[in-house]
Homo-oligomer: A and B are copies of this chain.
């Protein structure tokens, strides 16, 4: 089923009758395009009659010609869309936006230099149910904190996104202790408030896990785990894309570290959702904080 059809044909070529072999060769000579036209075209190209083509595809195990074509299209789709067969058609899109290529480069570079142990430790920390996860971010990166929180909240309990007015932060700080984890998203310029919060949390015994733009964030000194990402793009702004890539990897990591729990929680949530009138449903993942 998964094996390319070409191999199958090559291998079984001797099972075919003489005219069927002609069909096979015609197909192989112009694979897979030859099979994507009509039966008549195929037949003509192979120098045989239509029924022979039909018998050929039937012998290959297909229930009909269109079934055979579906298979060809599927293979073609996979081939064209996955293994960067792009370089062949690179001539067309050689004018890729420099901003886009920089973003891609950033992500690749980021993960090239990302210490695997650091990432795994980070994930384990986040997956520990006995701990409370607090997420906080800066002016722009707060969105990442929220994004991460909205996922983590689904696969595990005790996830808190620290957002809104600064006054609230202090309230949160009160409850933070050695069983807490504070995940900080912080890029330059490192905001004083975030630094203060992190330092205070660290002082109360919380584990700090930092996702940042370099090793220079002052929070790095007190963090148990640091994941640095590239942020430079040809723009007045920094790009948080690589940070988000890290966030998604964390989310997936935590989800898959305990698939059973994750799945069960996702299911339960699903049911809860269905029990409610969809329109009057609680808005998007519950209240912040």
Contacts and interface: CB of A to CB of B under 8 A. Distances in A.
A86 interface: yes
Interface size class of A (residues with CB under 8 A): 35 or more
A151 B140 CA distance: 7
Report the copy number of this chain in the oligomer. 2
A36 B73 contact: yes
Interface string A77-117: 10111111111110111001101100111011101100000
A33 B80 CA distance: 9
Interface in A138-159: 138-140, 142-144, 146-147, 150-151
A281 interface: yes
Interface secondary structure of A, over-half rule = helix
A2 interface: no
A191 to B, nearest CB: 8
A283 B233 contact: no
Contacts of A283: 164-166, 193
A285 interface: yes
B87 A79 contact: no
Sorted nearest first, the 7 A-B pairs with minimum C-beta distance are A143-B147, A235-B252, A85-B88, A143-B143, A139-B284, A143-B146, A33-B77
